[in-house]
Homo-oligomer: A and B are copies of this chain.
Amino acid sequence: MEINRDNITDWLKKLQDSICLELERADGKSKFAEDNWVRKEGGGGRTRIIKNGDVIEKGGVLFSAVHGEAPAFLFKEQQHSAVINKELGKAGKQPQFFATGVSIVIHPQNPWVPIIHMNIRYFEMDGGIKWFGGGIDLTPHYVTEEDARFFHGELKKTCDKHHASYYSKFKEWADDYFFIQHRNETRGIGGIFFDRLNENPEMNFAKNFNFWKDLGTSFAPVYSELIRRNKNKPCTQQNKEWQLLRRGRYVEFNLVYDKGTRFGLETNGRVESILMSLPKTAGWEYDFKAQKNSEEEKTLALLKKGIAWI
């Protein structure tokens, strides 16, 4: 069967369905509520939000598929591609684009359960441009080596099934991307991140699609396991206050650096869908210093690029 935007879109919708079901099962109390929205210039989305659960305080699993005339910045962004320069350089031809994806952010109640983020996307533009992008990364409020090894181990397994270089390459990419420059710390323990995946001559489109699908499919079992391990851990007032500060850093990253967020806000995207990534509550304290040998200090020491978790 030919792989095209229609069956890629169908696959993403089914992924959204199954992830929502598995997260509801893991939560045990709350259900997702759905908002359908339409994009004036073409396409739309299905925003699903869960809140006030036993496990999940606030989270979203979002599907969208949009298309139309490529805005100028998008056209420009693709100009590294030789193809587009040849095909689209001709005057009077306004390139068309198509983009679809699933985005997830989950903020748990218990600070011992990590925040998780996934985005997988597929992009097409006139001139023969088509690529996959995405990634999964983890932001534990408290970094535990056992969970970090499990998380990276699962990502590596998914990558290794498809290409020997993918895990190390995409892990480094995530370290670089999910970095809070002004704090000189990573947002969490990273994961994998990749973009424009169709440029490796030894990989073909169908193989890339399979890797990308495997990554999407791995989300629910990996996060369910992390929930299972941590949801019943007792938590103190100090743990809750630390969670607020870590969420504050999450907000800083998303509003100051995250390209998807900034791009969405600047191009008049659907604000409520874009900012679903923000936690129900977050906090800031002037010049916070972790106590010597505390769990908080241990975590801060692990928010660095380049840690080899496995």
Contacts and interface: CB of A to CB of B under 8 A. Distances in A.
Task: Give the number of copies in the complex.
Answer: 2
Contacts of A58: 284, 286
Given A182-B265, A251-B255, A282 B285 contact: no
Nearest to A33: B286
Most chain-B Cβ atoms within 10 A of its Cβ — which of A248, A268, A282, A283? A282
A272 B285 CA distance: 9
B282 A283 contact: yes
Interface in A280-308: 280-287
A248 B286 contact: no
A248 B60 CA distance: 18
A87 interface: no
A244 B276 contact: no
A281 B280 contact: no
A274 B58 CA distance: 28
A181 interface: yes
Contact of A49 (B244, B256, B286): B286
A252 interface: yes
Contact of A265 (B181, B265, B271): B181
A109 to B, nearest CB: 15
A156 interface: no
A15 to B, nearest CB: 21
Given A182-B265, A244-B281, A265-B181, A286 B255 contact: no
Contacts of A287: 35, 49, 272
A281 B241 CA distance: 10
Nearest to A283: B281
A188 interface: no
Contacts of A282: 251, 281-284
A211 to B, nearest CB: 32
Given A251-B251, A252-B255, A281-B281, A51 B271 contact: no
Nearest to A59: B286
Interface of A: 35, 49, 51, 58, 60, 181-183, 244, 248, 251-252, 255-256, 262, 265, 268, 271-272, 274-276, 278-287
16 contacts: A49-B286, A60-B286, A181-B265, A182-B265, A182-B268, A182-B274, A251-B251, A251-B282, A252-B275, A255-B255, A255-B256, A256-B262, A256-B265, A272-B287, A280-B283, A282-B283
